[in-house]
Chains A and B, each alone.
Chain A
């Protein structure tokens, strides 16, 4: 087998994790109707993905791929460009945070920090989108601070859920199963 940065299995796995992000976003709605609440599953999947494929760029691939999927499905009210960039930024900011922290999401604190900053990547995109359209005032009026807090809380919870999922996967022998595969 040719040695590559991402093996074919890893690429397919990341692509399917991206699909899982979309499924979590649409199908697994919780009864909570707070801005950014779907981030909990979203960030959890990214945190797990970054550990299952422990290479820089893994989260970005999940982000960009899920962005393309979401754009094709017509998710989000602000158009395909905004949707694509929001999803992509979640992955890219998670990768950036992992790079800055020099760690992996096996550490609960790192998982939570990556969860928060990854999710804030989406918030940042929405905010920048507002600035580009020249509508920051309106955006502030629509509850910038509330949205920010909500993104932080659900990002952190997503990071925590991702970390808990990783620990459960470890105990369940998932990484031994994974170790067989190239």
Chain B
């Protein structure tokens, strides 16, 4: 049904693409393709869908067969009748003003009769539990709802094959588990399904899983030893923090005391105010109550560096080096050398940040914040997004080094593996309230708290914890 034969692709710019690979996606099974960052997973996904070569310039060799069509010989719209593709970023693939228009868009392109479109629309809305939000703007939905809508819009077209490019990477555990259930149903109906994913742990135990691991050029890098000067200890004091956005209370009277020299993970479902809390700590958000740092010399205004979720917000320089050193009056070049090596970015020092992968750019964004050496530490918004296992390990080591030097590291995350490496875990409930707060291990074992938070602890995670004990 979907077959690639020694397919390879090289983009016009040197240095990246896909090395020859063959692959056969069997109907009725989920085919999982994994591999380190930069190994060409997204490129292969686009080759299978036909987006390469139809929408991309570059050198292609080998062939892809989709339902009897050779993908480079038939127009894209014809391939799209046989296969559908769901992309990594749920918000970026929304293209209609309402949920129902999002589904109708693909059905109109099939040239179906009015009644048939109505019938498929209603079925999709029902099957994917979207009927109650049919008139809403897709951009106002949560990430999980958007990914569900993207899937509904594709499946309403009744394709024979489905290709998914890291569909779980931006979802919390509950939304990711829900999505897997839909995908299992699709594969069980005898259709072909291929999924490219870093977070393969969600699929590892599925029956009928066909796992293909692509090899990459990534090498294990040694984490350089650090020589960071120790900071004086302090306490971050959050007193009656209150934030209102668009007349809605996002954070209500939050009290927290956090000691320096530790990693703190803030976990909660999408929209509970995790990012708002970080922004309040960074001084970027108007709020009620107070946020202060208590030191031996008295109270200070917090001075944290903040690494944002989207690294593209900050990149505009010609090289990683220029980006990290931008407007620093007297940069500490020894620290810079250590940092760029600790972030695994040494070989990209002179590369324009724009040409790096999302994961690499996130590390550059982290680097430029750390180069400013904020007095009290670091705030990170979903730092593991787009990072493969190796770079997640590097990230954890780096954060640990900072915490050991007396800095405070606060991160929001829906990556439970990353959260389990924190010293302290704060679990937020649906209304932004603290449901559990304590040592990571203790909070992760508190199953009633997780139930209250609406976050599902997936089987693979619980199994992993039991085994590690």
Contact = CB atoms under 8 A, between A and B. Distances in A.
A180 B355 contact: no
Interface stretch (B177-185, B246-254, B313-321, B383-391): B313-321
Interface in A114-146: none
B76 interface: yes
Interface in A137-182: 168, 171-174, 176-177, 179-182
A76 to B, nearest CB: 24
A32 interface: no
A1 interface: yes
Given A172-B354, A173-B352, A176-B355, A181 B318 contact: no
A9 interface: yes
A177 B353 CA distance: 11
A171 B317 CA distance: 7
A168 B317 CA distance: 7
Contact of A172 (B11, B13, B57, B318): B318
B454 interface: no
Interface residues of B, number: 19
Contact of B56 (A168, A174, A182): A182
B12 A172 contact: no
Interface string A79-101: 00000000000000000000000
B76 A1 contact: yes
Given A180-B11, A180-B13, A172 B55 contact: no
Contacts of A9: 55
Nearest to A9: B55
B57 A182 contact: yes
A2 to B, nearest CB: 8
Contacts of A174: 354
A172 B318 CA distance: 4
Nearest to A7: B55
Interface string B291-325: 00000000000000000000000011110000000
Contacts of B76: 1
Contacts, number: 46
Interface size class of A (residues with CB under 8 A): 10 to 19
B97 interface: no
Contact of B13 (A168, A171, A179, A182): A179
Contacts of A181: 55-57
A179 B11 CA distance: 9
A58 B54 CA distance: 23
B12 A180 contact: yes
B316 A172 contact: yes
B58 interface: yes
A171 to B, nearest CB: 4
B213 to A, nearest CB: 26
B56 A180 contact: yes
Contacts of A179: 12-13, 57
Given A173-B352, A173-B355, A180 B318 contact: no
B327 to A, nearest CB: 15
Given A1-B76, A180-B13, A171 B318 contact: yes
Given A1-B76, A177-B354, A172 B317 contact: yes
A176 B13 contact: yes
B80 to A, nearest CB: 13
A180 B57 contact: yes
Given A179-B13, A180-B11, A172 B54 contact: no
A179 B354 CA distance: 13
A177 B355 contact: yes
A181 B56 CA distance: 5
Contacts of B58: 180
25 contacts: A1-B55, A168-B316, A171-B318, A171-B352, A172-B315, A172-B352, A172-B353, A172-B354, A173-B13, A173-B352, A174-B354, A176-B13, A176-B355, A177-B354, A179-B12, A179-B13, A180-B11, A180-B12, A180-B13, A180-B56, A180-B58, A181-B55, A181-B56, A182-B54, A182-B56
Interface of B: 11-13, 54-58, 75-76, 315-318, 351-355
Given A1-B54, A173-B355, 19 more contacts: A1-B55, A1-B75, A9-B55, A168-B316, A171-B318, A171-B352, A172-B315, A172-B317, A172-B318, A172-B354, A173-B351, A173-B352, A176-B12, A176-B355, A177-B13, A177-B355, A179-B12, A180-B13, A182-B54
Q: Which 4 A-B pairs have the closest CB atoms?
A: A173-B352, A171-B318, A173-B355, A176-B13
